[in-house]
C-alpha cells in the first residue's frame, strides 16, 4: 500500500478537530503524511450526531471516504472509538484501520478487561466486538465524557486527576482484571498518568491504531 515515491497520505477521520489533529500528528511523527478530517466541531456536537442522527452521520462518513478516494487517498485511519461504533466501515470506499481493528486483535487475547471510553456508544462498540470475537471475555465498561471535554480544554493531567479514572483503576486491580483498555483516542494523551496509577497492563487503542496504520501504509503488513 505504498506509492513508488513513499507512503501515500493517510486520511485521519475522527469525531472532533482535536482527535483528528492528534491522530494526524502521531502519524507524522511516525513518518507518514497525514491529513485530518473532523466529522464535528466539538465532543458535544459529535455526541449529538451519534445519538440523534446516527444514519446521517454514517452517510456523511461514507461521503467523506468517497470524496477522499476520488482525490487519490488510499487509506483512512478512523481515530475515534465512538464513531467506529456508529458507522459500518468494513466495506468502505477505501480501506479503514479503526478501533474495531484493534478490538478484534486484542480482545481474544484477554480473559477480562476494564474498558474506558469517551461515551456509551463506544462501550457498546467494544462489547459488540467482544460478543462477536471473544464471547468468553469479561468486560467492565465505563465511559467518561467529562474527561474528554477536560482533555480538549488543554490540561490532560488535571482532567485525569479530576476524573473517576484513578478510583476506577484501583477497582480494576481489586477485581483482578487482566488489563485496562483505553478505548477513546483522546485518552492517548493521559496514557502516562494511567500507567503511573495502575499496575495492570494498559492497552491504548490510539497508539495501536497508529502502529497498524503505519504498517498498512508502508506495505510492511496487510491489516486492511
Domain boundaries, the chain: 2-100+207-218, 101-204
d(CA 25, CA 51): 28
pLDDT at 151 over 90: yes
Identical fold between 2-100+207-218 and 101-204? yes
Residue 223 has pLDDT above 60, yes or no: no
The pLDDT of 113-133, averaged and rounded, is: 96
Ramachandran region, residue 184 (left: φ > 0; alpha: ψ -120 to 50; beta: rest)? beta
What is the SS3 assignment for 141?
Answer: strand
Average pLDDT over residues 23-35: 96
Closest to 206 (Cα-Cα) out of 99, 122, 88: 99
Q: d(Cα 121, Cα 126) in Å, to the nearest integer?
A: 9
Question: Residue 1 above 80 pLDDT?
Answer: no
Name residues whose C-beta falls within 8 Å of residue 213's C-beta, 6 or more positions apart in sequence. Answer: 10, 27, 32, 75, 77, 97
Q: Is 118 helix (H, G, I), strand (E, B) or coil?
A: coil
Topology of domain 2-100+207-218, per CATH? Rossmann fold (3.40.50)
With cut-offs at 50, 70 and 90, classify the pLDDT of residue 8.
Answer: low
Q: What is the residue-averaged pLDDT of the chain?
A: 93
Q: What was the pLDDT predicted at 9?
A: 84
CATH topology classification for 101-204: Rossmann fold (3.40.50)
Using a pLDDT cut of 90, give the percent of the chain over it.
Answer: 91
Amino acid at each position: 500500500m505504498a506509492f513508488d515515491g513513499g507512503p501515500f497520505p493517510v486520511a485521519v477521520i475522527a469525531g472532533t478537530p482535536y482527535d483528528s489533529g492528534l491522530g494526524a500528528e502521531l502519524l507524522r511523527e511516525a513518518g507518514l503524511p497525514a491529513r485530518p478530517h473532523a466529522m464535528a466541531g466539538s465532543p458535544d456536537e459529535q455526541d449529538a450526531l451519534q445519538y440523534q442522527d446516527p444514519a446521517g452521520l454514517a452517510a456523511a462518513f461514507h461521503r467523506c471516504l468517497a470524496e477522499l478516494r476520488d482525490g487519490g487517498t488510499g487509506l483512512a485511519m478512523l481515530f475515534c472509538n465512538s464513531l467506529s461504533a456508529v458507522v459500518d466501515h468494513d466495506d468502505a470506499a477505501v480501506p479503514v484501520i479503526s478501533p474495531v481493528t484493534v478490538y478484534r486483535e486484542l480482545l481474544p487475547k484477554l480473559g477480562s478487561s476494564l474498558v474506558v471510553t469517551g461515551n456509551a456508544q463506544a462501550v457498546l462498540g467494544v462489547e459488540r466486538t467482544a460478543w462477536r470475537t471473544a464471547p468468553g471475555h469479561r468486560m467492565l465498561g465505563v465511559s467518561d465524557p467529562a474527561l474528554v471535554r477536560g482533555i480538549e480544554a488543554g490540561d490532560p493531567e488535571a482532567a485525569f486527576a479530576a476524573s473517576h479514572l484513578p478510583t476506577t483503576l484501583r477497582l480494576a486491580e481489586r477485581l483482578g482484571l487482566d488489563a485496562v483498555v483505553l478505548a477513546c483516542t483522546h485518552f492517548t494523551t493521559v496514557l502516562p498518568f494511567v500507567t503511573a496509577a495502575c499496575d495492570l497492563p494498559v492497552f491504548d487503542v490510539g497508539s495501536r491504531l497508529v502502529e497498524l496504520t503505519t504498517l498498512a501504509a508502508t506495505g510492511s503488513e496487510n491489516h486492511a
